[in-house]
Amino acid sequence: MVDSSASTAGKSSETLDQVTILFCGDSGDGMQLTGTQMGTTSAICGNDVSTLPDYPAEIRAPAGSLGGVSAFQLHFASHEIHTPGDSPDVLVAMNPAALKIHLPRLLPGGILIADRDAFTVRNLEKAGYADNPLEDAAMGTRYRVHALPVTTLTLKVLESLDLKRSAKVRCKNFFALGLVYWLYDRPLEQSLTWIEKKFVRMPLVAEANRLALQAGYHYGETADAFSVQWRVPRTTGRQGTYRLVNGNEAAALGLVTAARLAGKPLVYSSYPITPASEILHSLSRWKHLDVRTIQAEDEIAAMGATIGAAYGGSLAATGTSGPGVCLKSEALNLAVMLELPLVVINVQRGGPSTGMPTRTEQADLLQAMFGRHGESPVPLLAPASPADCFTLAIEAMRIAVRHMTPVFILSEGFLANSSEPWRIPRLQDLEPIVVKHPTEPTGFQPYSRTPETLARPWVLPGTPGMEHRLGGLEKQPLTGNVSYAAADHETMCRLRADKIARIAGFIPDLEVAGHPQASLLVLGWGGSYGAIRTAVERLAEAGRPVACAQLRYLNPFPGNLGAVLARYKRVLVPELNHGQLALLLRARYLVDVQSMGKLQGQPFKVGEIEACIMEVLSDD
Amino acid sequence: MTTDNRRHALTRRDFATDQDVRWCPGCGNNAILAQMQKTLPELGVPRENIVIISGIGCSSRFPYYMNTYGIHSIHGRAPTLAMGLKCARPELLVWVVTGDGDGLAIGGNHFTHALRRNVDINILLFNNRIYGLTKGQYSPTSEPGTRTQSSPDGSIENPVNPVGVAIGSEASFIARTVDVFQQHCAGMLKRAAAHRGASLVEIAQNCIIFNDGAWSHLTDPDRRLEHVLYLEHGQPMRFGKQGEKGIRLNGLQPEVVDVATVGEENLLMHDEQAPEPTLAYLLSRMGPPDFPTPVGVFRALDKPVYSQQLMEQVHAAQAREPADLEALFRQGETWEIT
């Protein structure tokens, strides 16, 4: 959708409703920063925003190599959006390797901005180019190419500054950012303030970045090559104060908020692992909120410490990724047996084994569901978006405490790194988490049950007269004394299962969106929400009989799921695995769902889901 | 009527549970249990503030027989639960009961790190040099050549020495005692409880079924005085029926000497507070056939305590910054939609 009008500077101005930009370059080129700056500024300008960083697993990959390419995708719009965008409209490539990797994704007719200076013989060689692609005539027919000497222009504007050449060259990303700011009519204020704060002790570096940013902006304003300035108007969102959060920040905020709502300290014990470590980093900075973090010696110790902290009466959580969950499973079973409240966050990544640490996947669903010996039910929640990690971290703690059980949160690498605006809640609007610690010894039984939930009492050490022993051995109901009696084991297994099943009575029904007369339901879980919703909304608006729903509660399922499934002729289940939710749905509801799997380490694209829906509909 | 610990002085009976003790008759664990039940009332700690956490194995049944709070956890992991509990509730007195298999094989990693961190917990390692509960396989402390179900031709493994591992782990308190040394055992338990930081007490314990007599050189009344060296801080190292033998350092090597010949002033003096672990390590290597086996406190150092430092950081942060969660929500760039 394009709206044109004349601009005063002799350049025209056009209005767009959404744009996707991909910033890419060498790891040292500051592309994550550039993308974050543009994202933050766009959000402050009132756009809805969704971002997705993509950086190499290597800490310092060789400069200019294909392995060292770092990218940041940014989608901003004048309406509500749910994904970081399928294919970029604009590609900013700071070196040949970045161009090599990401050019195939640029939409035909899209804008390419490249730093011509970086296309040296040596860099072209490293990227595997025989000839300079910027000099390829075909390029200009496919894309709107702006091959600028970004490095030279940056050095020139910084000529008079008493800085090393290398320090000046490092400012080239801000030149590129300035140019993009002009292209999309963005104010420089946010970035200028950021520069001032960031380099407060290095005034010369601050000055250099400021000059580079302004020079890039003025270059757009004056260079003839850029004849159009694009405007993406404000969205009309829900009233409130917003900030950007990624899934890991949101999860950390959710955990500390849950602790506040329960009036308790938070103990978070974790072992460093990609892509979950950031949760530990955030929480370790929040000691003023009585957050106590423990960097354990291994994944097992992290799980053990979490159990110990829960036993002591703290809100307790641990975070990890798939390989860590494998190691934690024995201790998690102990938590199931002790019936203590705690939360395990699995930020899923590509597996099996070490797999693809920095890439996303949804292939740990069955592990979370069944990956423990014995009958060992654990509730599972899966956030639908980065900001939803906040909501579900609180919800997971609420369930853990109310039902006295460990709870899994299945986050995803994609959600962990992707950012979106988060409407900052007021604490007073959040429902407190009610905690009870019995202190009356008369009639106390460690494994007595609250009738409604079947939860056992959370009695804390330090309570006089209620000394008792818990353990991993099977027990008698009520007393919790060790028992291998046939009837006791059967009873306890049923009690533990019923306790989790009853959570269904406390969670919201599954909501369906899309075409009112839909024959096809697209049912996803977790982070595929944005892509599925966008695809289905587009098709439903175009009159296709398709609806969608996203499961955030995976064990137990929402109470109405069976009824929802029964309403549709067909059910399509897209997941980043080989059909794990599909397997559960078939087993549980005897519904012949169609599975759409993808295992590429990347989230779904809207177009992929649209295409699959069209294919399914065409079978009718 | 509820039990109120503060109304009467606690006795050993307050720490017994209604559970039948299921260790084999004659098992060394019974003797340790008796000492623990006798010692805890003397510590002046309310019963409800005591937690005993164990792993898996014969020794790890211990919590079921102690009327305190307790967890019988999973194999090797008890120190991890203890660490988490202590960070949540620094005021509790937390004990870990483990064995040579639980603590040094499957749980070796946690054993090392709990000691290194100096979490304020007390680890009791019952060392019977065998796996008992799984019916008699060699353990990480079994002597080379030990014939067991899983080593019918004799173990070909090199054993570890729990005290040596603890020294290597920079433990701040390390002691050794023997299950049947009633007074000595009680004394070591008290010292461990009083220590600030992680403490390890290795308790030589006899498995009457699968490894009977593993410590008989220390426990036989006839041989005991010839084989046990009681370590006492600031005292010369003497042993033997009349204390006629002593330990002297010859270069870097200890040697057994006749006290009357060399003079007591030339004997090695024990210093449990020595900042360097050299002496403790030298002692940890002593044992049959050439040396007596030292029992007592090897090391007792005042070092920063993990659980305490953690809370100091929390309190410092709380003093520095108000606990304003909504301010945290607003960190970074925010914007309004009106």
CATH 3.40.50.920 domain extents, chain A: 513-618
Average pLDDT over residues A459-471: 97
pLDDT at B294: 98
Q: Is B335 within 8 Å of A314 when comparing Cβ atoms?
A: no
The rounded mean pLDDT for chain B is: 95
Is A297 an 8 Å CB contact of chain B?
Answer: yes
Q: Is the pLDDT of residue A519 over 80?
A: yes
Give the sheet arrangement for strand A380-381, strand by strand. Answer: A291-295, A266-270, A315-320, A342-348, A406-412, A380-381, A553-555
- Tens digits of residue pLDDT in A526-577: 999 999 999 999 999 999 999 999 999 999 999 999 999 999 999 999 999 9
Full DSSP string of A557-615: PPTTHHHHHHT-SEEEEEESSSSHHHHHHHHHH---PEEEE--SSSPPPHHHHHHHHHH
* pLDDT above 70: percentage of residues in chain A: 99
- Tens digits of residue pLDDT in B63-100: 999 999 999 999 999 999 999 999 999 999 999 999 99
Q: Is A424 within 8 Å of B64 when comparing Cβ atoms?
A: no
> Which of A304, A330, A468 minimises the CB distance to B84?
A304
Q: Which residue of A has its CA nearest to B81?
A: A308
CA distance B130 to chain A (A): 22
Average pLDDT over residues A208-217: 98
| Confidence grade of residue B7 (pLDDT, cut at 50, 70, 90) | low
What are the boundaries of each domain within chain B? 12-214+305-316
pLDDT at A8: 47
| Confidence grade of residue B327 (pLDDT, cut at 50, 70, 90) | very high
pLDDT at A9: 58
Query: Which residues in chain A are closer than 8 Å to B112, comparing Cβ atoms?
Result: 297
| Confidence grade of residue B2 (pLDDT, cut at 50, 70, 90) | very low
Cα-based distances in Å from B54 to A377, A474, B75, B125, B289? 25, 16, 8, 10, 33
A132: amino acid identity, one letter: N
pLDDT at A56: 74
Q: Is A294 within 8 Å of B2 when comparing Cβ atoms?
A: no
- Tens digits of residue pLDDT in A300-325: 999 999 999 999 999 999 999 999 99
Q: Is the pLDDT of residue A40 over 50?
A: yes
| Confidence grade of residue A58 (pLDDT, cut at 50, 70, 90) | confident
Is A290 an 8 Å CB contact of chain B?
Answer: yes
pLDDT at B52: 98
* pLDDT above 90: percentage of residues in chain A: 95
Is domain A243-429 in CATH 3.40.50.970, yes or no? yes
Beta carbons within 10 angstroms of residue A94's beta carbon:
28
Q: Is the pLDDT of residue A234 over 70?
A: yes
Q: Is the pLDDT of residue B200 over 70?
A: yes
Q: Is the pLDDT of residue A7 over 50?
A: no
As a 3-state breakdown, chain A gives helix, strand, coil percent values, each rounded to 5, of 40, 20, 35
pLDDT at A236: 82
Query: Which residues in chain A are closer than 8 Å to B336, comparing Cβ atoms?
Result: 240-242
pLDDT at B143: 95
> Which of A289, A441, A462 minimises the CB distance to B325?
A289
Cα(A497)–Cα(A504) distance, integer angstroms:
12
CATH 3.40.50.970 domain extents, chain A: 243-429
Q: Which residue of A has its CA nearest to B336?
A: A241
A:426-445 residues touching chain B, CB 8 A cutoff: 426-427, 440-442
Average pLDDT over residues A371-392: 98
Q: Is the pLDDT of residue A612 over 60?
A: yes
Q: Is A471 within 8 Å of B71 when comparing Cβ atoms?
A: yes
**How much is the pTM?**
0.95
Cα(B175)–Cα(B124) distance, integer angstroms:
10
Q: Is B334 within 8 Å of A40 when comparing Cβ atoms?
A: no
pLDDT at A179: 98
CB A603 within 8 A of CB A414: yes
| Confidence grade of residue A238 (pLDDT, cut at 50, 70, 90) | confident
CATH 3.40.920.10 domain extents, chain A: 3-231
DSSP single-letter state for residue A175: H
| Confidence grade of residue B1 (pLDDT, cut at 50, 70, 90) | very low
Cα(B112)–Cα(B108) distance, integer angstroms:
6
Task: Specify the pairing of strand A90-93 against strand A111-115.
Answer: parallel
CATH topology of domain A513-618: Rossmann fold (3.40.50)
Cα(A131)–Cα(A147) distance, integer angstroms:
15
CA distance A268 to chain B (A): 9
User: What pairs with residue A40 in β-bridges?
Assistant: none
> Which of B88, B310, B318 minimises the CB distance to A314?
B88
**Which one of 3.40.920.10, 3.10.20.90, 3.60.150.10, 3.20.20.330 gives the CATH number of domain A3-231?**
3.40.920.10
CB A259 within 8 A of CB A432: no
Q: Is the pLDDT of residue A2 over 60?
A: no
As a 3-state breakdown, chain B gives helix, strand, coil percent values, each rounded to 5, of 35, 20, 45
- What element of type H or E holds B127? strand B122-127
CB pairs under 8 A between A and B: 222
Number of helices (H), then strands (E), in chain B: 12, 12
For chain A, the straight-line distance linking the first and the last C-alpha, in angstroms and rounded, comes to: 32
- Tens digits of residue pLDDT in A480-504: 999 999 999 999 999 999 999 999 9
Q: Tell me the angle at which helices A189-198 and A203-222 cross, rounded to the nearest 10 degrees.
A: 160
Q: Is the pLDDT of residue A4 over 60?
A: no
SS3 B203: strand
**Which one of 3.40.50.970, 3.40.50.620, 3.20.20.70, 3.30.70.1290 gives the CATH number of domain B12-214+305-316?**
3.40.50.970
Number of helices (H), then strands (E), in chain A: 21, 24
Average pLDDT over residues A443-454: 98
- Tens digits of residue pLDDT in B108-141: 999 999 999 999 999 999 999 999 999 999 999 9
> Which of A237, A301, A461 minimises the CB distance to B113?
A301
> Which of B3, B113, B333 minimises the CB distance to A297?
B113
Q: Is A243 within 8 Å of B84 when comparing Cβ atoms?
A: no
Q: Which residue of B has its CA nearest to A265?
A: B88
Sign of CA dihedral B87, B88, B94, B100: negative
ipTM over 0.85: yes
Beta carbons within 10 angstroms of residue B152's beta carbon:
7
pLDDT at A538: 96
Task: Specify the pairing of strand A380-381 against strand A315-320.
Answer: unpaired
- What element of type H or E holds A23? strand A18-26
Q: Is A442 within 8 Å of B2 when comparing Cβ atoms?
A: yes
SS3 A424: coil
Structure token digits, residue A471: 């353990």
